[in-house]
Amino acid sequence: MPLSVRPLLFSLVVSGVFTGAAQAQSLTGNAGSANITAGDSAAELRAGIDDEGNVRSRAHIEHAFAGWYQLRAIASFRQPEGGSWDYSGFTLENWFQWAEEAGDGAGLNGGLRLAYTFAENGSPDEVAARVTLTDKFARDWEWRANLIAAFETGDQRAEGAELESRLQLTRALSARWMGTDEMRFGAELFSEYGNSDDLPGFNQQAHQFGPVFKAKWDNGAYLQTAVRAGLTDGSDDLMAKVFIGREF
pLDDT in tens, 90-114: 999 999 999 998 877 678 999 999 9
Percentage of the chain with pLDDT > 70?
A: 90
For residue 133, what pLDDT is reported?
97
Residue ranges covered by each domain of the chain: 6-247
For residue 196, what pLDDT is reported?
96
Q: Report the distance separating Cα 248 and Cα 112, nearest Å.
A: 23
Q: Report the distance separating Cα 178 and Cα 183, nearest Å.
A: 11
For residue 156, what pLDDT is reported?
84
CB atoms within 10 A of CB 234: 21
Q: Which of 108, 165, 162 lies closest to 131 in space, CA to CA?
A: 165
Q: Report the distance separating Cα 111 and Cα 104, nearest Å.
A: 20
Q: How far is CA 36 from CA 96, 117, 133, 211, in A?
A: 8, 22, 13, 26
Q: Which residues of the chain have pLDDT under 70?
A: 1-24, 105
Q: How far is CA 73 from CA 29, 63, 70, in A?
A: 15, 9, 10
For residue 23, what pLDDT is reported?
43
pLDDT tens across 173-210, in order? 999 999 999 999 999 999 999 999 999 999 999 999 99
Homologous superfamily of the 6-247 domain (CATH) = monomeric porin ompg (2.40.160.40)
For residue 18, what pLDDT is reported?
39
User: What 3 state SS string does the chain have?
Assistant: CCCCCHHHHHHHHHHHHHCCCCCCCCCCCCCCCCCCCCCCEEEEEEEEEECCCCEEEEEEEEEEEECCEEEEEEEEEEECCCCCCEEEEEEEEEEEEEECCCCCCCCCEEEEEEEEEEECCCCCCEEEEEEEEEEEECCCEEEEEEEEEEEECCCCCCCCCEEEEEEEEEEECCCCECCECEEEEEEEEEEEEEECCCCCCHHHCEEEEEEEEEEECCCCEEEEEEEEEECCCCCCCEEEEEEEEEEC
pTM value is 0.87
For residue 101, what pLDDT is reported?
86
